[in-house]
């Protein structure tokens, strides 16, 4: 029997999600921008999904901008923010933690604004002291992920957001790995922007969202339409968005139960791993996602061990899927 243990790379599409998507792929037609009945049905489906995603994230529906996934959301955030600053004739700097996903690190290297890297400690945590060492008077945006896709370490964002607010600096968090696994509340957190992705929580590949507060300066990157609050031109992927909404709805309903269940599985796995003297569990003593374990095996190369497990029909990852 095959064992799939790579759910931080992508999750299986929930059957209930597929069921709500299928009518919009085969039966319900119409462009969401059309004013006739068929178009309105599509638009209504998008808005219902927007409400569901907002509910999961503790946001308002009008703060949810649908995209094709976490990568596009992160690119829209960085490039849209920096371009808007240039349009306003404002300079600035951006600070990113060193452990961000490649969809933030790579586009950051192409920005016209200077970018500073925030170091993490030995447990993979972004400490406030590290941010204080990096942030300058010109820093306009700080980005720190909510939880790491490899170690599972959950970042303490509250002091970072407080520090940034005192300096008039905006804060973004990539919550792609956290959504549906731990409680999130965009409004109460004080964040200015948040990234999420549907396929990390049993939704479809090809749908994501950038959650933004209206005070965040940002501009569109693609032109030819006024969809998504005039921030993402192009006809919306209605089936994927509907699926995202259903996945968010299911995650809301089962969040507490899922957290307890996956944590018990993680703890059982780690208990077994600790019996092996050659195994070291990373970031074991800090707060982590309930579904994530990262460990090393002394004397084994990670990629070699991965392939050996693959031959046994056990799927694991030795790092982020986007950099493999």
If one looks up domain 16-249 in CATH, what number appears? 3.40.640.10
pLDDT of residue 321: 55
Rounded Cα gap, residues 51 and 222, in angstroms: 25
Residues 6+ apart with CB under 8 A from 317: 6, 8, 9, 150, 306, 324
Taking only the tens place, the pLDDT of each residue in 126-140 is 999 999 999 999 999
CATH 3.90.1150.10 range(s) for the chain read: 3-13+255-319
Taking only the tens place, the pLDDT of each residue in 153-168 is 999 999 999 999 999 9
Taking only the tens place, the pLDDT of each residue in 259-318 is 999 999 999 999 999 999 999 999 999 999 999 999 999 988 888 889 999 999 999 988
The mean pLDDT value for 35-61 works out to: 97
The answer to whether 52 and 252 have CB atoms below 8 angstroms apart is yes
User: What residues are labeled active site?
Assistant: 322
- Does residue 46 register a pLDDT over 70? yes
- CATH architecture, domain defined by 3-13+255-319: Alpha-Beta Complex (3.90)
Task: Give the mean pLDDT of the chain.
Answer: 96
CATH 3.40.640.10 range(s) for the chain read: 16-249
- Does residue 324 register a pLDDT over 50? no
Q: Is 95 helix (H, G, I), strand (E, B) or coil?
A: strand
How many CB atoms are located within 10 Å of the residue 184 CB?
23
């Amino acid at each position: 029997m095959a064992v799939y243990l790579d759910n931080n790379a992508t999750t299986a599409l929930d059957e209930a999600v597929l069921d709500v998507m299928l009518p919009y792929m085969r039966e319900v037609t119409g462009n969401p921008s059309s004013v006739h009945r068929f178009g309105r049905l599509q638009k209504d489906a998008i808005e219902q999904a927007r409400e569901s995603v907002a509910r999961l994230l503790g946001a308002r529906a009008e703060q949810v901008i649908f995209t094709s996934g976490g990568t596009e959301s992160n690119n829209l955030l960085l490039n849209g923010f920096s371009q808007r600053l240039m349009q306003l004739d404002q300079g600035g700097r951006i600070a990113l933690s060193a452990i961000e996903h490649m969809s933030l690190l790579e586009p950051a290297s192409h920005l016209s604004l200077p970018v500073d890297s925030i170091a993490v400690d030995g447990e993979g945590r972004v400490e406030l002291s590290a941010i204080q060492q990096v942030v300058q008077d010109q820093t306009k945006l700080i980005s720190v992920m909510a939880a790491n896709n490899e170690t599972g370490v959950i970042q303490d964002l509250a002091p970072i957001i407080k520090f940034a607010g005192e300096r008039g600096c905006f804060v973004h968090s990539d919550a792609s790995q956290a959504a549906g696994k731990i409680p999130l509340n965009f409004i109460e957190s004080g964040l200015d922007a948040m990234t999420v992705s549907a396929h990390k929580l049993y939704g479809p590949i090809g749908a994501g969202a950038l959650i933004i507060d209206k005070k965040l300066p940002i501009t569109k990157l693609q032109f030819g339409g006024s969809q998504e609050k005039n921030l993402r031109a192009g006809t919306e992927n209605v089936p994927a968005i509907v699926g995202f909404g259903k996945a968010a709805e299911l995650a809301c309903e089962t969040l507490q139960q899922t957290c307890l269940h996956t944590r018990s599985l993680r703890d059982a796995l780690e208990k077994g791993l600790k019996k092996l003297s050659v195994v070291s569990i990373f970031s074991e003593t800090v707060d982590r996602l309930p579904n994530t374990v990262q460990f090393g095996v002394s004397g084994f190369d990670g990629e070699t061990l991965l392939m050996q497990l693959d031959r046994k029909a056990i799927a694991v990852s030795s790092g982020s899927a986007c950099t493999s």
